[in-house]
Amino acid sequence: MDARLNLFGNPVAAKALKHIIAAGKVVTDSALPAATEELVKIRASQINGCGFCTDMHTKDAAHAGETSVRLNLLAAWREATVFTEAERAALELTEQGTRIADAAGGVTDEAWTNAAKHYDEDQLGALVSLIAVINAFNRLNVVVQQPAGDYEPGQFG
């Protein structure tokens, strides 16, 4: 199975990707915990049905030491006892920020206030940026039907 368009081979798409990747690097270099970053990327990718990003970030998280229990329970995080209150707040913000079209009010004040209890202003800036960046990656990969399953940890870095 091949993607509809080679995002790295197309000059326009490659140029756009370069900027999205740079935005992602800002988040990676921030004080947002790395485990939280991966959980956010995976959860948004699950919601968006992005197989490529789900494959990539679950493998990267496992390679970084994330447990299979937490990865397997991520889609059901509300009922799971293995996530911290801070991670739960980030996941709620991620879900609401990802499902904007599904929610008439966007992100609730309650979700924002809860996240602000656990993350400082710079971390909130990183979290909001991360949610936007992973959603952009998800949309690119879903539109071109980027195949999933062959990613190897560290492949792009």
pLDDT at 102: 82
Joined tokens for residue 94: 């991620």
Closest Cα partner for 134 from 100, 101, 94? 94
Mean pLDDT across the stretch 81-109? 93
CA distance 47 to 93: 13
Is 107 among the domain residues? yes
Query: Long-range contacts for 9-17 (Cβ within 8 Å, ≥24 apart)?
Result: 13/140, 17/140
Is 153 among the domain residues? no
Range of 117's domain?
A: 11-143
Is 157 among the domain residues? no
Q: Which residue bears the tokens 């399953």? A: 149
Q: What is the CATH number of the domain that holds 49?
A: 1.20.1290.10
CA distance 68 to 12: 38
Is 62 among the domain residues? yes
Is 154 among the domain residues? no
- Count of structural domains, the chain: 1
Is 139 among the domain residues? yes
Is 152 among the domain residues? no
CA distance 65 to 83: 15
Mean pLDDT across the stretch 66-84? 98
Query: Long-range contacts for 148-156 (Cβ within 8 Å, ≥24 apart)?
Result: 148/51, 148/52, 148/54, 148/55, 149/51, 149/55, 150/55, 151/52, 151/55, 151/56, 151/59, 152/59, 153/59, 153/60, 153/62, 153/63, 154/60, 154/63, 155/56
Is 41 among the domain residues? yes
Mean pLDDT across the chain, nearest whole number?
96
Q: Give 111's pLDDT tier (boundaries 50, 70, 90).
A: very high
Q: Give 1's pLDDT tier (boundaries 50, 70, 90).
A: confident
Per-residue model confidence as pLDDT tens digits over 63-73 = 999 999 999 99
Core vs surface per residue 95-132: b (16+ CB within 10 A) or e: bbbbeeeeeeeebeeebbebbeebbeeebbbbbbbbbb
Which pTM was predicted?
0.96
CA 67: distance to chain centroid?
17
Mean pLDDT across the stretch 8-27? 97
